[in-house]
């Protein structure tokens, strides 16, 4: 099992959610977060300067069986990309064990 953590633009969340559902990833958690990025320059939109180093993001946390890792990553990459600086990051972590509280099932069965 792997834990996939993704930090994406809030504006792309609905597209990412739909893409995840399309690859049968139907359970995940998410939070609104603010982060600091590498870009030091701001952008001007309609005469107002915006800092792009501190920008609202959505943090998504997903635990999947090993056979769902690559389809999940591909879905996020394709749906979250704008080809601009600040599209986000994806992190993959190993999960040693998982349990379903209601039934006591453990391992990959607990994720279904």
The residue extents of the domains of the chain are 2-111
% helix / strand / coil in the chain, to the nearest 5?
A: 30, 40, 30
The whole-chain average pLDDT of the chain stands at 89
Q: What pLDDT shows up at residue 51?
A: 62
Q: What pLDDT shows up at residue 41?
A: 60
How does pLDDT run across 25-40, given as a tens digit for each residue?
Answer: 999 999 999 877 666 5
Distance between CA 40 and CA 29 in Å, rounded? 30
How does pLDDT run across 44-58, given as a tens digit for each residue?
Answer: 666 766 665 667 899
Q: What pLDDT shows up at residue 55?
A: 73
CATH class of segment(s) 2-111 = alpha beta
Enumerate residues 6+ apart whose C-beta is below 8 A from 45: none
Q: What pLDDT shows up at residue 24?
A: 95
- Token pair 């792997």 is at which residue? 2
Q: What pLDDT shows up at residue 82?
A: 93
């Amino acid at each position: 099992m792997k834990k996939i953590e993704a930090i994406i633009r809030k504006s792309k969340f609905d597209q990412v959610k739909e893409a995840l559902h399309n690859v049968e990833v139907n359970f995940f958690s998410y939070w609104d977060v603010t982060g600091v990025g590498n870009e030091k320059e701001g952008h001007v939109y309609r005469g107002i300067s915006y800092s792009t180093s501190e920008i609202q993001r959505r943090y998504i946390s997903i635990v999947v069986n090993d056979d769902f890792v690559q389809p999940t990553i591909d879905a996020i990459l394709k749906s979250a990309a704008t080809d601009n600086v600040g599209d986000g990051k994806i992190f993959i972590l190993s999960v040693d064990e998982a349990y379903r509280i209601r039934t006591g099932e453990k391992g990959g069965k607990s994720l279904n």
